[in-house]
Structure 1
Amino acid sequence: MSDDVAGILKDAEAKMTKSVEVTKEDFSAIRTGRANAAMFQGIEVEYYGAPTPLNQLASLQFPEARTVIVTPYDKTAMPAVESALRESDLGVNPTNNGDNLRVVLPALTEERRKEYVKLAKNKAEDGKVAVRGTRGNAKKAIEKLVKDKEIGEDEGTRAEKELEVLTKKYIELVDVALSAKETELATV
Structure 2
Amino acid sequence: MDKKIYKETEERMKKVLGNLKSELAAIRAGRASTALLEKVFVDYYGVPTPVNQVATVSVPEPRMILIQPWDVKMLSAIEKAILKSDLGLTPTSDGKVIRLILPELTSERRKELVKMAKKKAEDAKVLVRNIRRDANELVKKMEKNGEISEDDSKRSQEEIQKLTDNYIEEIDKAFTNKEKEIMEV
When normalised by structure 1's length, the TM-score is: 0.92
SS of the residue corresponding to residue 108 of structure 1 reads coil
Deviation at 1:50, TM superposition (A): 3.5
Alignment partners' CA distance in 1, 2:178 and 2:68: 29
Aligned twin of 1:120: 117
Instruction: Say yes or no: does 1:88 pair with 2:85.
Output: yes
Which consecutive unaligned segments of at least 5 residues does structure 2 have? none
Cα deviation, residue 49, structure 1: 3.7
**1:76 aligned onto 2:73:** yes
Q: Deviations over 1:28-85 (max 9, x none)?
A: 1111111111100111123334432211221112110011111111111211111222
The one-letter code sitting in structure 2 at the alignment partner of 1:154 is D
1:140 to 134, 137, 140: 137
User: Secondary structure, in 3 states, of the residue corresponding to 2:115?
Assistant: helix
- 1:35 aligned residue (32, 36, 39): 32
Q: Secondary structure at the match of 1:150?
A: coil
Aligned-partner Cα distance in 2 for 1:115–1:139: 36
Instruction: Indicate yes or no: 2:97 matched with 1:108.
Output: no
Structure 1 spans left out of the alignment, 5+ residues: none
1:47–1:18 CA distance, 2 compared to 1 (3 A): closer
2:65 match: secondary structure: strand
Letter in 2 for 1:86: L
Match 1:22 to one of 19, 22, 27? 19
Runs of 4+ aligned residues of structure 1 deviating over 6 Å after TM superposition are none
Equivalent pairs counted in the alignment come to 185
The answer to whether structure 1 residue 58 and structure 2 residue 55 are counterparts is yes
Structure 2: distance between partners of 1:109 and 1:143: 51
The residue type equivalent to 1:124 in the other structure is: A
C-alpha contact (below 8 Å) 2:34/2:65 kept by paired residues: no
2:27 maps to a residue whose letter is: I
Please list the CA deviations of residues 79-105 of structure 1 after superposition, one character each: whole Å capped at 9, or x if unmatched. Answer: 111122223222222221111112111
Q: CA deviation at 1:17?
A: 1.9
Whole-angstrom CA distance in 1 between matches of 2:102 and 2:94 = 17
Deviation of residue 10 (structure 1)? 2.5
Taking the TM superposition and a 5 Å limit, the aligned residue runs for 1:126-165 are: 126-165=123-162
Residue of structure 2 in register with 1:97 after alignment: 94
Q: So what's the TM-score if we normalise by structure 2? A: 0.93
- Cα 1:46–1:6 shift into 2, 3 Å: closer
